[in-house]
Amino acid sequence: MRNTVDRPRIGITELILFLIGALVLFLLASIVAKGQSTAPGARTARAPAQVQQPLYREYRGVRLGMTAVEVRAKLGEPALKSDEQDFYAFSIDETVQIAYNAAQKVVTISTDYHGGVGAPDYKSVVGEGLLARPDGSVFKMMMYDSERFWVSYNKTATAVPIVTITIGAYK
């Protein structure tokens, strides 16, 4: 007799979205790790602690510093789960990756909105003044030094744009 276990299968679409999201997360992490280069035209704003309060600091109730257990209680069982990160596909248009540190605390929340469907308006995420790149994409990152985190907004210039909103903790 053969033992069988029903396991949820991940379709090719979810796998591709996961890989795209992982690549975006990796690229954003490498930008932060390099200390935010001061390339001409870069649009990274540091918000003064007394003046600017963060506009966007959580996703569906998930905040930086929460434990993996708390995240899973809020969002349910992820499509892909590990000690380092969870991947959720809420719809074909909305996916999120939650990255954890060694203590199983949230250090990065990266959400992708395919076609921009369901994405919050950039002004409610990073405020005014997106940087328009030559390829037509737009970007802005806000640094909140007093609270030790950053938020970025990126919209690709492809035929079907992808809006990526990432919240990351300082090391």
Residue-wise pLDDT for 26-78, tens only, equals 555 555 444 444 444 444 555 554 446 788 999 999 999 999 999 999 999 99
pLDDT recorded at residue 54: 80
Strand 44-46 and strand 138-144: pairing?
Answer: parallel
pLDDT recorded at residue 41: 45
pLDDT recorded at residue 162: 97
Token pair belonging to 4? 């069988």
pLDDT recorded at residue 36: 43
**How many C-beta atoms surround the C-beta of residue 64 within 10 A?**
19
Question: 69-128, pLDDT tens digit by residue?
Answer: 999 999 999 999 999 999 999 999 999 999 999 999 999 999 999 999 999 999 999 999
DSSP per residue, 50-79: TTPPPS--EETTEETT-BHHHHHHHH-S-S
pLDDT recorded at residue 53: 72
What are the boundaries of each domain within the chain? 12-35+42-169
